[in-house]
Amino acid sequence: MTAPLIILFAALVVWVYLAVVDEAAEVLSRRAGLPFDPKRSRRARALVLAVMAGTLALMITPKDQFEASPPVVASWTADSLWLGPDTMQLDRLDDEQEALVRYGRELIRNTAYYLGPKGTVAQLTNGMDCENCHLDAGTRPWGNNYGAVWSTYPKFRERSGSNETVVKRVTDCFERSLNGTAPDSTAHEMQAILAYLEWLGSGLERGTRPKGSGIADLAFLDRAADTTKGAAVYTAKCASCHLQDGQGILAADGRSYQYPPLWGPNSYNIGAGLYRLSRFAGYVRNNMPLGATWEAAQLTDAEAWDVAAYINSRQRPTRDLSSDWPRIAGKPVDHPFGPYADSFPEHQHKYGPFAPIAEARKKK
Ligand code: HEC
Ligand code: HEC
């Protein structure tokens, strides 16, 4: 800020000097009866004025136009929804790291192209993309985003009964949601996904769960979710894309899905998060039919619970879940497989009503 001030001051001095000298020159010329050209001196002063105006303009222009912006931080404050860092910020990483993060993001968006049944790198998964469930490459508010991943893992999870690393959590989605196998933890693909998740978490303090991260929790219905009502919702609002038989539609390249399957052999298996009604209902309420958002939902909560019940009552791949939930009392209320630490039947743990189960737990 001091340099422009000095220029401004110097220009002012020059201007005053020119004005005084010109005045004197004019008076002296008149007295001596010599010709005097006032235009020449006016031009010189106008030039000095222009320099002053230019300097002033620079001083009042917002300075971030000239200065480098601050280092990578998430576009997130305590009371706003998390949207992830701007991809423009990727340029700030060193070349090698930037390439790794970009590849990780690419793998989230186009998983099947690289790792699906016709994958160009390996054939590990069912043909779905991570992004089918983690919308906008895992950055959409309440779109099952990755906002709380890097800041909260490793953490203890009841499903495995262990302290889970990010690698373990990513591997779980490969094995359950993508019904396949995960790349080895040292593989370039796994490293790239980790680099992307780490980059997404930049600026978030350890332990924070930003607002809008993951899937929203809907209020429980006061009845069981109804598969018959759900089937009607499905036909009216979902079948146009996911098809009446739930198998989705392959994209033109034949490698990935234009509309992913919701049940059947190419869908997520019974160990996946979406197989729990609360996860499914919370996801679709804020994101489906395609184009819906948490602010402009197109389903009522009841429709979301009912369609979740219908879709999760269809046939899908199984998985051996015998080592899940080693502490039986740690199972969520909507885990659809016994044994349970309470006396509510399996059917109620799958379809509800869930409130009585939750209340009974609170009393314990
Ligand atoms: C069929 C849907 C689906 C697909 C496909 C899917 N996931 Fe997930 N993922 C989920 C659900 C559901 C959760 C649990 C969300 C919850 O419980 O709130 C989850 C959770 C996660 C989490 C932990 C999030 C957290 O905040 O704890 C990570 C990390 C993750 N997935 C990574 C991936 C990756 C990487 C892929 C692709 C290789 C993938 N997922 C594919 C549905 C999916
Ligand atoms: C206009 C087309 C369209 C409609 C209608 C639609 N979806 Fe989707 N759905 C999609 C697309 C596309 C994706 C994948 C999004 C992505 O990859 O960004 C998707 C993803 C999903 C997913 C996660 C991926 C998977 O296959 O498991 C679920 C669950 C889902 N939709 C359920 C529903 C339900 C329930 C309805 C009706 C209430 C519905 N959708 C209506 C287009 C649609």
On whether both 128 and 232 belong to a single domain, the answer is no
What is the chain's Cα-based Rg? 32
The pLDDT of 290-303, averaged and rounded, is 96
Nearest CA to ligand 2 atom 42: 290
Mean pLDDT of 313-321: 98
Q: For residue 283, what are its two tokens?
A: 């996801």
Exposure string (b/e) for 134-169, b if CB count within 10 Å is 16 or more? bbebbbbbbbbbbbbbbbbbeeebbbeeeebebbbb
Beta strand 162-164 with 155-157 is antiparallel
From the CB of 288, is ligand 2 less than 6 Å away?
Answer: yes
Pocket of ligand 1 contains residue 111 by CB under 6 Å: yes
Tell which one of 128, 133, 146, 263 to mutate to probe ligand 1, the residue whose CB is within 8 A of the most ligand atoms. Answer: 133
Count Cβ atoms below 10 Å from residue 209 Cβ, excluding itself.
Answer: 13
Average pLDDT over residues 207-224: 96
Asked if 58 and 161 sit in the same domain, the reply is: no
- 35-66 pLDDT tens trace: 877 787 788 888 989 988 988 888 887 655 55
Same domain, 282 and 346: yes
Cβ 299 under 6 angstroms from ligand 2: yes
Looking at the fold, whether 104 and 31 belong to one and the same domain comes out as: no
Interatomic CA distance for residues 319 and 330, integer angstroms: 20
What pLDDT is stored for residue 63 in this prediction?
A: 59
Ligand 1, atom 20: nearest CA belongs to which residue? 173
Q: Which residue has the tokens 């209020």?
A: 219
pLDDT in tens, 143-183: 999 999 999 999 999 999 999 999 999 999 999 999 999 99
Does ligand 1 lie within 6 Å of residue 144's CB atom? yes
Tell me the CB-side half-sphere exposure of residue 334, using CA atoms within 13 A: 27
Average pLDDT over residues 218-245: 98
Mean pLDDT of the chain: 93
The SS3 of residue 157 is: strand
Q: Is residue 74 predicted with pLDDT exceeding 60?
A: no
230: domain CATH number is: 1.10.760.10
Q: Quick one: 49 and 85 in the same domain?
A: no
The reported pLDDT for the residue numbered 71 is 47
Ligand 2 close to Cβ of residue 176 (< 6 A)? no
Cα–Cα distance measured from residue 16 to residue 1, given in angstroms and rounded to the nearest whole number? 23
Q: Is the CB of 200 under 6 A from ligand 1?
A: no
Candidate from 125, 173, 262 with most ligand 2 atoms within 8 A of CB, to mutate: 262
CA dihedral for 163, 165, 167, 170, sign (positive or negative)? positive
**For residue 178, how far is its CA from the centre of ligand 1 (angstroms)?**
10
Q: Supply the range of the domain harboring residue 60.
A: 2-65
Report the b/e string of 216-243 with b at 16+ CB within 10 A. bebebbeebbbbebbbebbeebbeeebe
**Residue 18: predicted pLDDT:** 86
Q: Are residues 202 and 315 in the same domain?
A: no
Shared domain check, 226 and 168: no
Q: What does the pLDDT look like over 319-354, one tens digit per residue? A: 999 999 999 999 999 999 999 999 999 999 999 999
Task: Match 């620079």 to its residue by tokens.
Answer: 58
Atom number in ligand 2 closest to CA 308: 35
Q: Tokens 């196998």 identify what position?
A: 181
